[in-house]
Copies of this chain bind each other. A is one copy, B any other.
Amino acid sequence: MSVLVILGSKSDARVGEKVTKALDKLKITYRIVIASAHRTPKYLMELVEKSEADIFIGVAGLAAALPGAIASHTHRPVIGVPVSGKVNLDSILSITQMPPGVPVAAVGLDNGENAAILAAEMLAIKDKELERRLKEYREERSKAVLEG
């Protein structure tokens, strides 16, 4: 399996679907689960440690500790998607402002699609076939703009 998508709670499913929809289009294998950094920390730790995923995507709102918590348990790339709420700066800053030594790759608020594309870009570094699909995907998007 290539990507493990973890949602902080059921209410993050709306953004999670954007991730999986794009992963499907890019034909990237993935699994999607719910696991909370704060409410199920041990389950999350085991999930991450046992996982053979190449990349993790954490989707969370509020004091969005999930992507950082995933990153604390793995040396593989972790992408964080802040989920919108009443404050918005909370999840954006909780995911971007990681301390030196434990990076998270933050994408924009509710921007599940970009998390998927970013994962594809990482995997395509050594996968020519995926690189081709990725180019196609982005060219389609560019065309959609021009035909707007």
Contact = CB atoms under 8 A, between A and B. Distances in A.
A55 to B, nearest CB: 7
A94 interface: yes
How many copies of this protein are present in the complex?
Answer: 8
Interface residues of A, number: 77
Interface in A19-70: 34-43, 45, 54-55, 61-63, 65, 68-69
Contacts of A93: 63, 87, 89-90, 92-94
A126 B54 CA distance: 9
B63 A99 contact: yes
A141 B94 contact: no
A42 to B, nearest CB: 8
